[in-house]
């Protein structure tokens, strides 16, 4: 993790790896999860309706687990703010058994990483939660590419329009 451990834990991150990973879904969430396993989807729901829970359920599906665990593919979760990155990384770690790398521009730790160190960190993690600009930078630097990805999630995807950096990264 590249954010402060205290902030990460405050948003629900866990020091334990043996926590219950079960997520109980509502009917519409089950339907969207089923669709998300089969095809690319855009989920437009109100705040608090469980969009992240849907993404996590897709991540936990056997199809994506196979791509991530057997084929070494990555799940990339792009967000727009440091606070969202910390919050989403904590949620993903809480409800999956994946190794999560939190990548924000605020981290002095990751600012000093060489390209080789970035490649090593990405290789050793299964889920990358990244600020949009940082993801775009790593794609341009050929540290990360779309062929490595089993899944790409754009949180706040309405930002993926016009000249916003998320439009470039996604």
Query: What is the residue-level pLDDT of the chain in tens, covering all 170 positions?
Result: 444 455 555 555 555 444 456 678 999 999 999 999 999 998 988 888 899 999 999 999 999 999 999 999 999 999 999 999 999 999 999 999 999 999 987 765 677 789 999 999 999 999 999 999 899 999 999 999 999 999 999 987 655 655 455 555 55
**What is the pLDDT, as a whole number, of residue 155?**
85
**What is the pLDDT, as a whole number, of residue 166?**
53
**What is the pLDDT, as a whole number, of residue 20?**
55
**What is the pLDDT, as a whole number, of residue 13?**
52
Domain that holds residue 161: 5-169
Question: Distances from the Cα of 148 to the Cαs of 7, 33, 94, 164, in angstroms?
Answer: 29, 22, 24, 23
Query: Rounded to 5 degrees, what angle do the CA atoms 69, 33, 145 make?
Result: 45
Question: Distances from the Cα of 45 to the Cαs of 38, 51, 54, 127, 156, in angstroms?
Answer: 20, 7, 11, 23, 11
Domains contained in the chain, number:
1
CATH number at residue 31: 3.40.50.300
**What is the pLDDT, as a whole number, of residue 65?**
94
Structure tokens at 73: 């593919």
Q: Is 143 helix (H, G, I), strand (E, B) or coil?
A: coil
**What is the pLDDT, as a whole number, of residue 161?**
59
Q: Is 75 helix (H, G, I), strand (E, B) or coil?
A: strand
């Amino acid at each position: 993790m590249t954010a402060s451990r205290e902030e990460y834990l405050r948003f629900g991150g866990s020091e334990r790896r043996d926590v219950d990973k079960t997520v109980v879904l509502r009917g519409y969430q089950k339907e969207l999860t089923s669709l998300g396993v089969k095809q690319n989807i855009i989920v437009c729901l109100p705040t608090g309706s469980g969009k992240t829970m849907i993404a996590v359920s897709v991540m936990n599906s056997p199809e994506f687990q196979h791509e991530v665990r057997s084929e070494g593919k990555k799940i990339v979760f792009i967000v727009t703010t440091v606070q969202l990155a910390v919050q989403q990384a904590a949620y993903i770690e809480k409800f999956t058994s994946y190794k999560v790398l939190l990548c924000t521009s605020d981290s002095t730790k990751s600012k000093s990483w060489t390209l080789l160190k970035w490649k090593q960190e990405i290789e050793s993690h299964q889920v990358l939660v990244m600020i949009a600009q940082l993801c775009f930078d790593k794609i341009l630097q050929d540290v990360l590419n779309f062929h490595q990805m089993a899944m790409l999630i754009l949180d706040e995807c309405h930002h993926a329009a016009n000249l916003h950096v998320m439009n470039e990264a996604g």
